[in-house]
Amino acid sequence: MNEDDAWTFLGHRVHRDALDLIRTVVGEFPGLSRDELAATVCEWLGWTRATGRVKTRECRDFLERLEAAGVITLPAKRPGRPVGSRTTVPITPRGDVPPAVTGTVRDVAPVEIVRVTTGEERLLFRELVGRHHYLGHAVPFGGHLRYLVYATRPQRQVVACAQFSSAAWRMACRDAWIGWDEATRVRRLAHVVNNSRLLILPHVRVRNLASTILARLAGTVGPDWQTAYGVPPWLLETLVDPTRFAGTCYRAANWILVGQTRGRGRTGPRRPTRSAKCVFLYPLVRDAVVRLREA
């Protein structure tokens, strides 16, 4: 295998001239951190999102793969939090389990969905998901949006959390349902978004709340994602562990079960094994499949 065929970045072939440029950047800027090198490479090679922002995180991962293969030598890692790692989860009274909330959605309505944007909201989301979701909290790879869901009766309080992040790179049953070949998947994957966390807090036992939240989020995530990343999502996906959940709330919210993974999908820090997951999809536009198949 020659060097031109050996490397791809997010599905795109990286040719010899690009590798030579990467070597130049790494060699001429030894004082830069790995993130700064990745940002510089992205700027020089035009590796940007639709918003114009550079793909620093993805590029750093690519540079570290090149280093592992002996193609380049990167500067030593500086102290910091790696992408995809667990972060320190705060332990405060806000994350404790309060008295039970019961009844129906009508009893706690109106339900408010708030996008996480402030430092305080991020800390609260991290604590709730880190303490109460079986997968724990991890820094998502690539784009992501997070939400806190509030019930407003009998008093305003957080009852759920949700997170959306970049889609899985490959998923056989999803790709077959869409009808993707390899090249089209690479071009269109940015229009798929993964519901990577959904947490109903353990003290909340409100009938139909989860499916109501999913229905509301389906109308919220599309505009929010396009605003944040410049790409309109046309399809949502999620993975459900059948040993823990039946996926009832996704079915009730009209998500489509299309199959199971082969047991090699994403896994959280508390899940040392990679069991098969049920794959649910939700089209955000009527012609989602047509758009996703377009060359």
Residues 16 and 160 in one domain: no
As given in the structure block, the two tokens for residue 196 are 């990577």
Identify whether 86 is part of a domain: no
In a domain, 85, yes or no: no
Confidence of residue 50 (pLDDT cuts 50, 70, 90): confident
Q: Are residues 208 and 164 in the same domain?
A: yes
Domain edge (last residue) among 68, 102, 125: 68
Range 96-101, long-range pairs (CB < 8 A, 24+ positions): 97/201, 97/202, 97/203, 98/157, 98/203, 99/203, 100/203, 100/204, 100/205, 101/151, 101/157, 101/159, 101/203, 101/204, 101/205, 101/206
Q: Which residue has the tokens 């966390």?
A: 197
Enumerate residues 6+ apart whose C-beta is below 8 A from 264: 274
Q: What pLDDT does residue 260 have?
A: 95
* Total domains, the chain: 2
Q: Are 12 and 141 in the same domain? A: no
Q: The domain spanning residue 129 has which CATH number? A: 3.40.630.30
pLDDT tens-digit series, residues 58-71: 899 999 999 999 99
Percent of the chain beyond pLDDT 70?
A: 90
* Exposure string over 85-118, b if 16+ CB within 10 A, otherwise e: eeeeeeeeeebeeeeebeeebeebeebebeebee
Tell me how many degrees the CA angle 164-166-171 measures, rounded to the nearest 5.
110
In terms of domains, do 62 and 118 share one? no
**Please, which residues bridge with residue 144 across strands?**
165
CB 194 within 8 Å of CB 143: no
Rounded CA-CA distance 4/15 in Å is 5
User: What is residue 142's predicted lDDT score, i.e. its pLDDT?
Assistant: 67
Report whether pLDDT(40) > 50.
Answer: yes
Range of the domain at 122: 93-293
Position 80 in a domain: no
Residue 267 resides in a domain: yes
Residue 86, pLDDT score: 52
Examine the pLDDT at 271 and tell me if it is beyond 50: no
Tell me how far apart the alpha carbons of residues 60 and 39 are, in angstroms, rounded to a whole number. 8
What pLDDT does 182 receive? 84
Same domain, 110 and 42: no
Q: List, for residues 222-235, the tens digit of each pLDDT value.
A: 999 999 888 899 99
Write out pLDDT tens, residues 3-19.
545 788 887 888 888 89
Residues 12 and 108 in one domain: no
Choose the weakest-confidence range: 30-34, 77-81, 214-218.
Answer: 77-81
Residue 179 has pLDDT above 90, yes or no: yes
One domain for residues 11 and 101: no
65-122 confidence digits (pLDDT tens): 999 999 999 988 876 555 444 567 778 888 788 889 999 999 999 999 999 999 999 9
Q: What residue has token string 């109106």?
A: 110
How many angstroms separate the CA atoms of 237 and 168, rounded? 9
The HSE-up count of residue 48 (CA atoms within 13 Å, CB side) is 10
In a domain, 185, yes or no: yes
How far apart (Å, rounded) are the C-alpha atoms in residues 45 and 47? 6
Using DSSP, state whether 228 is helix, strand or coil.
helix
Mean model confidence pLDDT for the chain: 87
Q: Is the same domain home to 58 and 99?
A: no
Question: Whole-model pTM?
Answer: 0.75
Cβ neighbours of residue 209 under 8 Å, at least 6 residues apart? 105, 108, 111, 159, 160, 200
The answer as to whether 77 is a domain residue is no
Rounded Cα gap, residues 189 and 187, in angstroms: 6
Q: 103's torsion region: left (phi>0), alpha (psi -120 to 50) or beta?
A: left
